[in-house]
Each structure stands twice: as C-alpha cells, then as structure tokens.
Homo-oligomer: A and B are copies of this chain.
Amino acid sequence: MTTAQADLRADTRARLEQVALDLFTAEGFERVTADEIAEAAGISRRTFFRYFPTKADAVWGDFAGHVARLEARLAATSPAQPVLASICAAYLEVNDYPPAQLPLLQQRMRLILGEPALQAHSQLRYADVDRAVAAHVARRTGVAPAALVPRLVATSTRAAATTAFEVWLNGGGPLADGLRRAFDELAAGFPALLAAPGH
C-alpha cells in the first residue's frame, strides 16, 4: 500500500532479506544467483523479484523509511541552529541504532561499501538522501536546490557520513563519534590538514 510493490507478506520479505544477506556475506554478492536465494528461502525466482526490484535491493532493508526519517528530522530542526549542525544532528539521530541492531547494520554496510556492484548501486539510493539534504539547505539559505551550495553541502555531508561508516567498519570506534568527527572536519574546513605540513 505504501509504495508500489510493497505489500506482500512482510514476514516473507524479512526472511528473504536475511537469507540474501547471509548468502551475500558468505559467498560474495556476485557469486550468489537470484535462483540460489529463492531456493534457500523456499520460493521461486519470480517471486523474489516481486519482493525486490533488484538483487541489490535485498540488502537495503527499509531505506525509503530511513530517508523519510532523515527528511523529518531535517524539517524539525530549529532555524537558530547552524545549517551544517542541523544536518549533522539529523544524521546522528537517524543512525542512532539500538545495540541489538548493530550487527545487522554492520552486515549491510560491509556489503554496500565492500562489494563493487553494491557500491555502484548505492549511488542510486543515496541520490534520494542528497535531494532531501539539498532541499533542506535550499530552504534554509533561500537558494535554489539545484545551485552549487545546496548540492555541494548535500554530497559532501553524505561523503562525511559514508566515510564515518567506513571507519566504523574498520574498527575506528563508535559510529556516532566518527560522524561527529567527520562533520567537525567538514564544518571547519579540514583543520587536521594543517597539523603536519610537508613530509
């Protein structure tokens, strides 16, 4: 009801997601065929593609909801708060997962950031995030969403978030810390670059 093809049995979908995720993690995304996922989940290939428009989409969970929450957070920020800080806060809140869900998030992100095919696919998903952030910046600054600054802020803040995820996956401390550090660097024009000049 919510979107186009998203009203089939929700439990089937969840099971399908987990089966796919586990297979991808174990064998690698490209080496798992849609047939194998379907068979492992006890359904037909055709049905698999009714739940997910693409093999890659099985990795993303409810990403549309994620973007919607981000948009809501952005819309709810106080006009008194600096724009960049409001974006940082929204990213932090939206990515504040309960500890029990961290392993799943880690599994998803390891695939998305590690598998080339998914890395490519992610660009399509992230475009929605960028649109939301750019619209927020445009609203706050009174500039057109297609102008340089809104676009630039959207893509580079997303770059910050992605980088924080990568560092987190590589054992670089809590995700929230990474996000804050990345946004701080961004907001200050990369002060860390002045630390050790030359080599």
Contacts and interface: CB of A to CB of B under 8 A. Distances in A.
Which secondary structure characterizes the binding site on chain A? helix
Interface in A77-121: 79-80, 82-84, 116, 119-121
Contact of A141 (B83, B153, B196): B196
B197 A79 contact: yes
A193 B160 contact: no
A142 B193 contact: no
Among A121, A170, A189, the one with the most B-chain Cβ atoms within 10 Å of its Cβ is: A189
A14 interface: no
A181 B151 CA distance: 13
A129 to B, nearest CB: 13
B152 A182 contact: yes
Number of chain copies forming the complex:
2
Interface in A122-162: 122-124, 127, 137, 139-142, 146-149, 151-153, 155-156, 158-160, 162
Contacts of A194: 82
B193 A148 contact: no
A1 interface: no
A63 interface: no
B190 A166 contact: no
Contacts of A186: 152, 156, 186, 189-190
11 contacts: A79-B198, A84-B189, A119-B124, A120-B120, A120-B123, A140-B199, A148-B181, A148-B185, A149-B190, A151-B166, A152-B159
